[in-house]
Amino acid sequence: MDKRQQSAKSDLDAEQAAEAIKSAAKSIRDSSIKIKETARILRQSGAINELAEAVKIAAQASRDTMVEINESAKEIVDHGVIRETVLAVEQTTAAAKETVNTIKDSFATNSARAMSKATLDSQKKEAQVLIPTKS
């Protein structure tokens, strides 16, 4: 490419850049005008004030709810509800463990008895085979 062609291309690139900047500037101006108009309409309609009031009421309700929850938690602790609940759970756990152990012991005893009876029955059968009974 010779110098003349390079110069023409360079001029074209510069013109394209200038047009792109002008287009961006126009978009910024148009958007600014729309934003300004929207803000004016929102202010005049009272929508912003209503939104602000709603947020204030929600924040107050959240605060009041947390105060109530905090007071309830303090009352629960002060009246020993949590301590009594933990104690009841511990006692229930201990009783359940005792029940399981009792069932295990009973099962082991019954199994041993059943095995002893089966052994005795087997031994009786063997004895009958070895020593026939008189009929």
When mean pLDDT is compared across 17-21, 86-90, 95-99, 118-122, the lowest value belongs to: 118-122
Residue 64 parent element (H or E): helix 47-78
d(CA 38, CA 48): 11
Secondary-structure percent of the chain, ordered helix, strand, coil, rounded to 5: 95, 0, 5
- Diameter over CA atoms, the chain: 137
Global pTM reads 0.42
* Token pair recorded at residue 69: 């929850």
Question: Which stretch, 8-17, 25-34, 117-126, has highest mean pLDDT?
Answer: 25-34
Domain residue extents for the chain: 85-135
Contact by Cβ (8 Å): 48, 42: yes
